[in-house]
Amino acid sequence: MIHVGVTDEVGLDGVGEDVARFRQGGGGWLGDVVEGAVAGGDLEAGEDGSGVAEDGVGAVVIADEVSAQVAVREAAMGAEGGDVESGGVCGCGGQEEREEGCWPDAAFWGMIHSSSIRAGWFDVKCISSLLVVLGVFGVARAETVPVLVIHGGAGVVKPDMTPERTKAVEAALSRALRDGYAALRAGQPARDAVTAAIRVLEDDPDFNAGRGAVFTHDGHNEMDASIMDGATLQAGAVAGVRHIRNPILLARAVMEHSPHVLLIGDGAEAFARSQEIAMVPVSYFWTQHRWDQLQAALKADRAKGEVHGALPLDRHFGTVGAVALDKAGHLAAGTSTGGLTDKLWGRVGDSPLIGAGTYANAHCAMSGTGWGEYYIRTVAAHEVCMRVSEMGQDVGKAAEDVVDREIPKLGGDGGAIVLDDRGHVAMPFNTDGMYRGWVGADGVPHVAIFR
């Protein structure tokens, strides 16, 4: 039996400089400042910020980030597989009070995941209690319930959505959810689920990615994609490719088989050949629907007497994307797009730019869709995830502040899907609609287009 004692005997002034900074609003990760391996016994925290278990098995001291992470892993190994008897924890961060005996729910609520303990949601009065949570770290190593969230773009125009088109879009979203979630159920990593889901949407002409990519001003199809693994911070991206059937596969190959993050144009396609990524003739991407959209945009250009005059009015931009949480508690995000109808001069938007349209870390993953220039200027995906992981905002609040406030304030619009490592989801958008879907513990695909 591993008994976890919760003590409030240590004052913040004695906990250490880094934790004191948290009190001042800096936010942070308890795992960055605490080193310990509480494998058993009650823990008494001393005024100097250190603590020793009664039976001498474990200890907690202030330390640097690297040694803290090592110690947290040791704590996890010490607790893993043991029964956990636990005490209460104080009310935290303005959230509901956690009563005596609320563990292990409070352990999960405290975000004990992947060799780190998030303190962002906790009020400073909980810091001393959290010092001893290391002893139950093994609890959070239990299998996480996988979650998959996808989008097919926020460039939905209501008059375009005939009953037939709506049915086709919903069917494709459901297929993408099923394929992606099958990977998660099989125990595959989040990056596999993201890749599988996006491939389905890239192969469907109803979405502005891969097969359904829109046309540039010159009548070409130029595609971008990116993927990021939150557990490792590895990332890969491609931009301006014209012959890649599934750009998300090439982005992943960049991540896994090159020393680079972003490859463009001919160079990206040369790399694709070296990796035996499927390539197709440009005719593969020609669809009547997208060609008609370009002709309408060119007509508007001529009417206004200026190049690209349709940009402020053209809402035929779109993107596809996915975010996933796997059984190990790891996150990933990916995005793929054909860009903007009638775009000029090799324009590249936010989708292949890590931090703008795609981002994932250990605690948050986001894929964006919308007017890319504004997602770039706000570094939207990174901004949302920093609000979640470092400021302790919930995903709904973080996504709303950036997608529905910061971006429209500059003149942009769009949407996003955001997922945290507790499985919480946000899907904000400020356009007519956003193709979106999600699947969680019930294993049933849920899809939606309008509000």
Region of poorest pLDDT, from 115-119, 135-139, 309-313, 327-331: 115-119
* In contact, 172 and 320? CB cutoff 8 Å: no
Residues 233, 35: Cα–Cα separation, whole Å: 23
Cα separations in angstroms, 270 against 199, 221, 241, 249, 252: 21, 18, 10, 14, 15
Which is the catalytic residue, given 144, 195, 319, 378? 319
| Phi, psi at 202, each rounded to 5° | -65, -30
Q: Which of 358, 441, 437, 375 is nearest to 412 (CA)?
A: 375
- Tell me what pLDDT residue 218 has: 93
pLDDT for residue 190 is more than 50: yes
Determine what percent of the chain is predicted with pLDDT higher than 70. 66
Q: Which of 63, 62, 53 is nearest to 4 (CA)?
A: 53
- CATH number for the domain formed by residue range(s) 147-448: 3.60.20.30
Q: What is the mean pLDDT of the chain?
A: 75
- Tell me what pLDDT residue 308 has: 60
- Tell me what pLDDT residue 449 has: 96
How sure is the predictor about 131, in pLDDT bands with cuts at 50, 70 and 90? very low
H or E stretch at 293 = helix 288-304
Taking the model in full, what pTM does it have? 0.71
- Tell me what pLDDT residue 304 has: 80
How sure is the predictor about 156, in pLDDT bands with cuts at 50, 70 and 90? confident
With tokens 């197709």, the residue in question is 280
Cα separation of the two ends of the chain? 50
Residues 118, 97: Cα–Cα separation, whole Å: 18
H or E stretch at 325 = strand 320-325
Convert the pLDDT of each residue in 238-266 to its tens digit.
999 999 999 999 999 999 999 999 999 99
* In contact, 94 and 129? CB cutoff 8 Å: no
Q: Which of 143, 135, 207 is nearest to 171 (CA)?
A: 207
- Tell me what pLDDT residue 109 has: 27
pLDDT for residue 177 is more than 60: yes
- Tell me what pLDDT residue 307 has: 65
- Tell me what pLDDT residue 311 has: 53
Residues 263, 68: Cα–Cα separation, whole Å: 36
pLDDT for residue 373 is more than 70: yes
Mean pLDDT for the stretch of residues 324-345: 95
Tell me the domain boundaries of the chain: 2-141, 147-448
- Tell me what pLDDT residue 101 has: 35
Determine what percent of the chain is predicted with pLDDT higher than 90. 60
Residue type, 351: S
- Tell me what pLDDT residue 306 has: 72
pLDDT for residue 113 is more than 50: no
Query: Hey, what's the torsion of the CAs at 122, 124, 127, 130, to 10 degrees?
Result: -20
Mean pLDDT for the stretch of residues 269-291: 97
Region of poorest pLDDT, from 108-122, 152-166, 194-208: 108-122
Cα separations in angstroms, 179 against 270, 278, 320: 29, 20, 15
How sure is the predictor about 120, in pLDDT bands with cuts at 50, 70 and 90? very low
- Tell me what pLDDT residue 132 has: 34
More confident residue, 65 or 312: 312
* In contact, 323 and 177? CB cutoff 8 Å: no
Instruction: Clarify whether 319 is annotated catalytic.
Output: yes
